[in-house]
Amino acid sequence: MNNIVAIVGRPNVGKSTFFNRLIKRRDAIVDAVSGVTRDRNYGKSEWNGKEFSVIDTGGYIKGSDDVFEGEIRRQVELAIDEADAIIFVVDVEDGVTAMDAEVAKLLRKVTKPILLAVNKVDNGAREKDAVEFYALGLGEYFTIAGMNGSGTGELLDELVRVLPELPEVVEEENPLPRFTVVGRPNAGKSSFINALIGEERFVVTDIAGTTRDAIDTTYNRFGFEFKLVDTAGIRRKAKVKEDLEFYSVMRSVRAIEHSDVCILMIDATRGFEGQDQSIFWLAEKNRKGIVILVNKWDLIEKDTMSTRDYERKIREELQPFTDVPILFVSTLSKQRLLKALETAVEVYENRKQRIATSKFNDMMLPIIEAMPPPALKGKYVKIKYCMQLPTPTPQFVFFANLPQYVKDPYKRFVENKLREIYNFSGVPIDIYFRQK
């Protein structure tokens, strides 16, 4: 399980540039996939051997010119509640602004580690100007230049030093698969679990307690035992408006990172909105199994839209990862709920499957031979051998004489063929081309 680090501050101080620098340390290599910009608000980073999740609160504010202070205040309050450490970014060019002072006032009451980063400090004169940020009352500050990265090393050294130790997750001998029910508020997550368990155990009450605990229940169905995790059980904050996009996503981060399959519930009456997409890409980026449940389907006028049209619209939003089961359910009439659970079990099995190397070569090499990668600069790519890697999630490597000449469209062609032959429905897979 990772610590969560939130980057806060008013718009246009360079939070996103700094965030990109943090996650690019690893992600640039891993995520050469089109469409990854959609989850620009969340990523994983690692420094001195310590891994942590980073959330950029800036990406969630729409239309940053007319941002009201209230929106930023809410985001800071949320970060204070949910994150393990906070990096507060300010801009040396603007000096201390009224909104900076407002954010600092909220942060001064907090016992969590707060690191003050004065951005855009790229020369000696600006180094001197940064002194005025002592006025924020947050103690020492770090001068950084998000664009060229100077100063970020010292800041990260301090960050990993002050990150709290998370309780050790004890590895059980035979851990039960974890199915996590995620989605925006009021999509029907708790009703789904109540309907399955047959008791109102997820009545959401205002019991004080840690925000860390998604509630999980051991469940047995189809001769298969697993843990069902309800993220709606995470205590709601009275202070935070329910409709804040950032809220759902931030609360989902830990639960998703810690699950095997994510059951994403969407509200049919609202459609597959930006927030649902953020949660979907969060699960995809973490390489979790995914099942999409369209809830409240009984409330839709059937002549206005058929399941086929609705499903097609969702799949268009999921490009390029469209091999995901989509089911239409109603938690109210308990329609197709067991089918949903059965599908989640199938996705779990798909994610676990291992393909013998000899069989894999027998299947894939003739396809590649019939349709080799296009030649580049008169050079031909030859692929002689392939195998599945012994990793927790499905990853495949193809050994080639010139792997650098294999471009994204061909990788997608190989992935599509692989999915046609083997059932990886609901499972993100990684395909690598390496020097043989």
Binding residues: 9-16, 56-60, 119-122, 183-190, 230-234, 295-298
Numbered residues of the known binding site for GTP: 9-16, 56-60, 119-122, 183-190, 230-234, 295-298
Burial-class residue 215 by CB neighbours within 10 Å (0-12, 13-18, 19+). middle
Among 416, 360, 352, residue whose Cα is nearest residue 383: 360
**DSSP character string of 356-391:** -HHHHHHHHHHHHHHSPPPPBTTB---EEEEEE-SS
List residues bridging with 227 in a β-sheet: 178, 218
Give exposure, 295-330, as e/b (b: 16+ Cβ within 10 Å): bbbeebeeeeeeeeebeeebbeebeebebbbbbbbb
List residues bridging with 51 in a β-sheet: 46
Are residues 273 and 360 in contact, defined by beta-carbon separation less than 8 angstroms? no
Burial-class residue 285 by CB neighbours within 10 Å (0-12, 13-18, 19+). buried
Tokens of 345: 């079990």
Tokens of 28: 């640039």
16 three-class SS: helix
